[in-house]
Amino acid sequence: MKTGMPEENKEGPEGPGRDTMTREEVYEKLDEVFQDVFDDESIHVSDATTANDIEDWDSLEHINLMVAVENMFKIKFNMGQVGGLKNVGEMVDLILTKVK
């Protein structure tokens, strides 16, 4: 979209650097997504977390989880990226490539 704004101002008023998220910040938001989707505030995910660790995480709920992640981080996954994730660590890697 044309905004008429000069390129160098696109990072917004907070200046450069605010657009990149740290891994910790991603995890903080990701915990919130998991807690909402599975309605369980005790859930905390880590690199090694897989669907086997969360009781309700089946293939249908996986769809809702991916949609909720997209909505939380305002990103859109490509086809193929969604299916191949082995654990939450890989999901975080993917999110980090998208939010940049």
Partner 1 sequence: MKELQYPFDAEAILSHKKKLRRQLLGDGTGRVCKKIAILGGYTTSNIRLMLELFLLDQGIEPSFYESEYNQYYQDAMFPNAELEAFAPDIIYICTCCRNVTALPSLRDAKDAVNALLESEYERFRAMWDRLEAVYHCPIIQNNMEMPYYRLLGNRDAWDVHGATNFLTRLNLRFYDYAADHEHFYICDVNYLSADYGLTAWSDPFYWHMYKYAVNVNAIPYLSFNVSNIIKSLLGKNKKGLVLDLDNTLWGGVIGDDGVENIELGPETSLGQAYSEFQRYLKAHRDLGILLNVDSKNEESNALAGLNHPDSELHPEDFIVIRANWDPKDRNFADIADSLGLLPESLVFVDDNPAERHIVTGQLPGVAAPEIGEVCEYIRNIDRNGFFEATVLSEDDFRRNEMYRSNAARRMQEKSFPDYESYLRSLGMKARILPFEPMYMGRIAQLTNKSNQFNLTTRRYTQSEIEALAADGSYLTMYGKLEDCFGDNGVVSVVIGHLEGDTCRIDLWLMSCRVLKREMESAMMDTLIRKCMKLGMRRILGVYYPTAKNGMVRSFYETMGFAPAGSDERGGTVWEYQVPGTYSDRQTVIEVTSDLNGPVNG
DSSP designation for 20: S
Q: What are the tokens at 50?
A: 């897989």
Q: Give the CA distances from residue 13 to residues 16, 18, 19, 98, in Å, rounded to whole numbers and listed in that order.
A: 9, 10, 11, 21
Residues numbered 15-74 forming contacts with partner 1, rule: CB under 8 A = 33, 36-39, 60, 63-64, 67-68, 71-72
Least spacing, CB of residue 7 vs partner 1, in Å: 28
Indicate the residue among 35 and 50 with the shorter CB distance to partner 1. 35
Residues forming contacts to partner 1 in the complex (CB under 8 A) are 33, 36-39, 60, 63-64, 67-68, 71-72, 79, 82-83
